[in-house]
């Protein structure tokens, strides 16, 4: 391989890899996007208006992060809740349903009203069985038989749903222990199953992967005498999460009790598993918040990230109609609408001359401003796949100009035309052959006709509605006739003739006279019948003259006389 070939190939490889990286990092599923554009092109070859690109993560952030806390400790209400709320984060709480009571707490667990209150604040209440068993060693069983997998999962789900009043879709395996048998039961009742793992979750999951969600727990080396003894684990966690950001992945945090540092030692002595200090969780949450503000991390519950990924990966759209100022798009994801109703962050392609649009879906209307990326104009909007048709209306102030034309000519464009405020619109007025522009009327006032064979009129800086109309008339020419004395020409004088028309003249000498000459446009024509004849102009396209002269008829008398007289 010579040097230039080698250089070409290395450049080509670099460019190709760069493009692949660009597509992967900016847009989810570029191949899917191309498919959709192709399907639009079948019906509209000039534009992709209405094409929707779903962003990989909500708000176009680089990665996803979920806080989850297991077992339903009362400390989660007392300490975890205010720390998450301080930063505006919603967490997922895997409740050990059988150990939560209405009024008298069991051990370190919380009460139903506490978790109900958290649910009403937007935190996700999820299931973690009734009794925290080792599920792998249980039979599959059924919904009504205690000490079976099915009973543990089903009963915890319906108890939480009954107490909280919301659908429970997320599940965490006790001790993070699961196998195919456990997974199969989990699939019947939940949309995901949270386990544990050393790496974050990928941005796209399918099938069984939904029942092996990884989570990373904070693990603290002993001794834990002061809060600073836990700082090494804070650094570990930030490194782990930074890698998740860099790879566009989904980190699930797994925690249990959250306590003031001063209570950690006592909790450990009571068997509390990996308790986290308020100080530690606050420091992590602050770090996550900074990353979130920098668009690096999208923080959501496990249930809502599950919704986002599945809706995104199953999203389809169809442009129902696309006119100059409005696009209607149908959207779908083929999923259960009672569960999958989370808004997706999307970029929707709109015509290049749109600046502000009104976005409407499911009776929600928003005013949005467009942005341009690689020469394509988009609007970013939250679209719910189960939310019905999306309507995008160009909200620039529009005015109408109404045009009309009389017979024997045309005005283009004809009828009602919309013009943006401050915009321009030109009209071309063209008479039919043999006709001329007779009048142009703008907003009821006559305009000067400068070129009656056809002209243009332009409205500029349009800020009100307008009308324009034109009339046309036939083009006429004159023929001027005259006759000398002793004869006549009919018609005499100036006669108008339509363009292309004909006009006949009768030339008649007086008695005793004859036609002497006929001149048309100054040129003599042959006199064929000097006792009177007709001359006809045909296909008249210019002015003409015709004149006739007469002379006396003379006879010759030839006389002769004989001789002598």
The stretch near Zn ion (CB under 5 A) out of 171-179, 188-196, 427-435, 470-478 is 171-179
Least Å from the CB of residue 289 to Zn ion: 27
In contact, 534 and 506? CB cutoff 8 Å: yes
Binders of Zn ion in range 174-203 (CB under 5 A): 174
Residue nearer to Zn ion on the CB measure, 69 or 317: 69
Angle (deg, nearest 10), helices 112-120 and 149-164: 70
| Cβ closest to Zn ion, residue 48 vs residue 76 | 76
Instruction: Provide the 10 A C-beta neighbour count for residue 272.
Output: 19
Beta carbons of 220 and 33 less than 8 angstroms apart? no
Residue 153 or 515: the one with the smaller Cβ distance to Zn ion is 153
- Report which of 271, 243, 322, 316 is spatially closest to residue 107, judged by C-alpha positions: 271
Measured between alpha carbons, how far is residue 132 from residues 135, 156, 187 in Å?
Answer: 8, 10, 18
Query: Shortest approach of Zn ion to residue 357 CB, angstroms?
Result: 48
How far is residue 36's CA from residue 50's CA, in Å, rounded to a whole number?
A: 10
In terms of Cβ atoms closer than 10 Å to its own Cβ (0-12, 13-18, 19+), residue 306 is buried
DSSP structure class, residue 452: T
Is 152 one of the binding residues for Zn ion (CB under 5 A)?
Answer: no
Q: Does 257 bind Zn ion (CB under 5 A)?
A: no
The least distance separating Zn ion from the CB of residue 174, rounded to whole angstroms, comes to: 5
Instruction: Identify which range of 24-32, 140-148, 172-180, 306-314 contacts Zn ion by CB under 5 A.
Output: 172-180
Total of chain residues touching Zn ion, rule CB under 5 A:
3
For residue 227 the two structure tokens come to: 């809060």
Q: Smallest distance from the beta carbon of 164 to Zn ion, in angstroms?
A: 19
Q: Which stretch binds Zn ion (CB under 5 A): 67-75, 134-142, 428-436, 444-452?
A: 67-75
Closest residue to Zn ion using C-beta atoms: 70
Is the distance from CB of 489 to CB of 506 less than 8 angstroms? yes
Check residue 70 for interaction with Zn ion (CB under 5 A): yes
Tell me the closest approach of the beta carbon of residue 256 to Zn ion, in angstroms: 7
CB 317 within 8 A of CB 331: yes
- State which residue, 71 or 124, has the beta carbon closest to Zn ion: 71
Closest separation in Å from C-beta 70 to Zn ion: 4
Number of residues written out for the chain: 565
CB 234 within 8 A of CB 284: yes
Encoding tokens for residue 429?
A: 């007025």
Q: Which is nearer to Zn ion, 123 or 256 (CB)?
A: 256
Q: Is 349 in the site for Zn ion (CB under 5 A)?
A: no
Residue closer to Zn ion by CB (options 71, 347) is 71
**What's the rounded Cα separation, in Å, for the pair 21 and 17?**
6
Q: Least distance in Å: CB of 263 to Zn ion?
A: 20
Structure tokens at 61: 């952030």
CB of 144 to Zn ion, least distance (A): 24
Nearer to Zn ion by Cβ, of 87 and 175: the residue is 175
Comparing CB distances to Zn ion, the nearer of 174 and 248 is 174
Closest approach, Cβ 71 to Zn ion, in A, equals 5
Per-residue x/- marks for Zn ion, 11-50, CB under 5 A? ----------------------------------------
- Regarding 71 and contact with Zn ion (CB under 5 A), the answer is yes
Place of tokens 């996007």: 33
Give CA–CA dist 67/302, Å, rounded: 8
Nearer to Zn ion, 6 or 134 (CB): 134
Bridge partners of 301, per DSSP, are none
Residue closer to Zn ion, measured from CB, 52 or 97: 97
Which run of H or of E encompasses 205? none
Q: How far is the CB of 230 from Zn ion (least distance, A)?
A: 21
Question: Which helix (DSSP H) or strand (DSSP E) does residue 321 occupy?
Answer: strand 316-322
Residues that bind Zn ion (CB under 5 A): 70-71, 174
């Amino acid at each position: 391989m010579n040097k230039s070939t080698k250089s070409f190939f290395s450049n080509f490889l670099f460019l190709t890899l760069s493009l692949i990286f660009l597509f992967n990092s900016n847009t989810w599923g570029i191949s899917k996007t191309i498919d959709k554009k192709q399907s639009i092109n079948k019906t509209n070859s000039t534009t992709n208006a209405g094409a929707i690109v779903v962003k990989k993560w909500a708000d176009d952030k680089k990665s996803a992060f979920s806080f989850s806390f297991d077992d339903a400790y009362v400390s989660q209400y007392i300490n975890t809740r205010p720390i998450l709320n301080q930063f505006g984060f919603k967490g997922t709480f895997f409740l050990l349903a059988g150990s939560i009571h209405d009024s008298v707490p069991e051990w370190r667990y919380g009460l139903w009203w506490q978790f109900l209150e958290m649910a009403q604040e937007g935190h996700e209440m999820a299931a973690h069985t009734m009794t925290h068993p080792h599920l792998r060693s249980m039979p599959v069983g059924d919904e009504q038989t205690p000490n079976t997998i099915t009973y543990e999962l089903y009963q915890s789900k319906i108890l939480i749903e009954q107490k909280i009043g919301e659908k429970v879709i997320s599940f965490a395996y006790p001790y993070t222990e699961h196998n195919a048998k456990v997974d199969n039961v989990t699939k019947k009742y939940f949309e995901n199953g949270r386990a544990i793992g050393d790496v974050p979750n990928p941005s796209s999951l399918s099938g069984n992967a939904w029942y092996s969600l990884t989570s990373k727990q904070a693990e603290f080396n002993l001794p834990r005498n002061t809060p600073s003894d836990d700082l090494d684990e804070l650094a570990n966690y930030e490194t782990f999460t930074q890698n998740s950001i860099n790879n566009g992945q989904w980190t699930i945090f797994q925690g249990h009790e959250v306590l003031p540092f001063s209570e950690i030692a006592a909790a450990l002595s009571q068997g509390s598993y990996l308790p986290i200090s308020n100080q530690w969780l606050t420091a992590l949450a602050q770090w996550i918040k900074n990353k979130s503000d920098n668009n690096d991390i999208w923080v959501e519950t496990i249930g809502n990230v599950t919704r986002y990924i599945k809706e995104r990966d199953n999203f389809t759209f169809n442009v129902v109609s696309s006119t100059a100022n409005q696009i209607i798009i149908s959207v779908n994801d083929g999923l259960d609408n009672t569960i999958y109703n989370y808004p997706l962050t999307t970029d929707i392609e709109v015509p290049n001359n749109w600046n502000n649009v009104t976005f409407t879906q499911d009776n929600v209307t928003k005013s949005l401003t467009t942005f341009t990326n690689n020469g394509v104009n988009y609007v970013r909007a939250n679209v719910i796949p189960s939310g019905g048709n999306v309507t995008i209306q160009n909200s620039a102030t529009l005015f109408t100009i109404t045009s009309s034309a009389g017979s024997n000519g045309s005005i283009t464009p004809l009828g009602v035309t919309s013009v943006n405020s401050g915009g321009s619109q030109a009209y071309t007025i063209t008479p039919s052959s043999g006709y001329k522009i007779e009048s142009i009327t703008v907003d009821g006032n006559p305009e000067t006709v400068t070129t009656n064979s056809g002209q243009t009129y332009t409205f500029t800086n349009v800020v009100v509605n307008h009308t324009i109309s034109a009339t046309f008339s036939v083009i006429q020419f004159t023929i001027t006739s005259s006759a000398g004395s002793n004869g006549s020409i009919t018609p005499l004088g100036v006669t108008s003739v339509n363009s292309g028309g004909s006009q006949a003249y009768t030339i008649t000498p007086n008695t005793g006279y004859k036609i002497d000459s006929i001149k048309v446009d100054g040129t003599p024509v042959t006199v064929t019948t000097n006792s009177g004849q007709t001359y006809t102009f045909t296909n008249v396209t210019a002015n003409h003259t015709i004149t006739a002269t007469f002379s006396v008829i003379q006879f010759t008398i030839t006389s002769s006389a004989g001789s002598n007289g």
